[in-house]
Amino acid sequence: MNTANDATEQPMVRFDGVTKSYGALTVLDDLRLDIGRGEKVAIIGPSGSGKTTVLRMLMTLERINDGVIWVDGEPMTHMEKGGRLVPADPRHLRRVRAKVGMVFQHFNLFPHMTALGNCIEAPITVLGLSRREAEERAAELLDLVGLADKKEHYPAQLSGGQQQRVAIARALAMRPKVMLFDEVTSALDPELCGEVLQVIRKLGSEHDLTMLMVTHQMGFAKEFADRVCFFYQGKICEQGNPQDMFAAPQNERTRQFLRAVMDSV
């Protein structure tokens, strides 16, 4: 599962002593985490524990203060220059970032483009696909997320669950190796969560994607993830396979957290 110890294969993502702070507030402290190729990792933890920040750093939306993030065997936040690692320039960031895609809590669809338009914009302008190729691919992906009949709809004409599914298709259209999901159902009405989780399940089984998801849905994490990481105050407090961790959490903080979320359901 976790291939980090396998010397023949590099992990897909490696956080190597990563620290992130905002002013005096240290949000993530010396984070060390390897994620294997194709591994599905669920990140759980109380609000403010740094879960979103982990994903945002990996998407290069946040600069890190210390450490190195590696993606697919090469440094992302840094680049090699004269045998040393120096902070990455925009070109390097852009090249490595292409391997990562992200789905946001609030969808962040482009409101002035149709579902199809959202899914072809970057493939055409960034990957250089022809409009026809891009549209064919986008149509396949919209079909995969169950929205083949909504291609020409604008985001405002879609339900939250449908918008989030378009956002997933849009991210997939860039062919990332790693997909990040940040509480992708928490802005949705409960009855719309299922359709989005269903799509994520499908991705998990059909693609050899590496997936990192922040979620509050313990049931889904348990069934879907290969590994669960519990964050507490900017550190990984406990991690392990979901069966063990949900059945018998080792750490007192994990126990408290799990009790609290189970109670609230």
Partner 1 sequence: MWDWEYAISIMPALGKAALVTIQATGIGFLLALVLGLILALLRMSGPRMGWAVSALIEFIRSTPLLIQIFFLYFVFPSFGIVLDAFTAGVIALGLHYGCYCAEVYRAGLEAVPRGQWEASIALNLGTYATFKDVILPQAIPPIVPALGNYLVALFKETPLLSAIAVLELMQTAKMMGSETFRYTEPMTLVGIIFLLMSLVSAAGIRWLERRLNRRSAR
Provide the binding-site residues for partner 1, judged by CB under 8 A: 59-61, 94, 97-98, 100-102, 104, 106, 108-112, 121-122, 125-126, 154, 156-157, 170-171, 174
Please name the residues in contact with 106: beta carbons below 8 A apart, sequence gap of 6 or more.
187
- In terms of CB distance, is 63 or 131 closer to ligand ADP? 63
Q: Which residues contact 232 (CB under 8 A, 6 or more apart)?
A: 45, 46, 49, 253, 254, 257
Contact flag: residue 217 with ligand ADP (CB under 6 A): no
Specify the DSSP element, H or E, that contains 187. none
By CB under 6 A, tell whether 51 contacts ligand ADP.
yes
Q: Which of 11, 31, 40, 50 forms a contact with ligand ADP (CB under 6 A)? A: 50
Looking at beta carbons only, is 106 or 207 nearer to partner 1? 106
Pick from 12, 13, 18, 27: which binds ligand ADP (CB under 6 A)?
27
Contact pick of 6, 17, 22, 186 for ligand ADP (by CB under 6 A) = 22
The site map against Mg ion for 89-118 (x = CB under 5 A) is ------------------------------
Instruction: Out of 52, 60, 162, 163, name the contact with Mg ion by CB under 5 A.
Output: 52
CB 118 within 8 A of CB 174: no
**Number of Cβ atoms within 10 Å of the Cβ of 93:** 15
Copy the structure tokens of residue 35: 């994620």
Stretch that binds ligand ADP, among 49-57, 75-83, 95-103, 188-196 (CB under 6 A): 49-57
SS3 202: helix
Largest CA distance in the chain: 55
Round to whole Å and give the CA distance between 68 and 114. 38
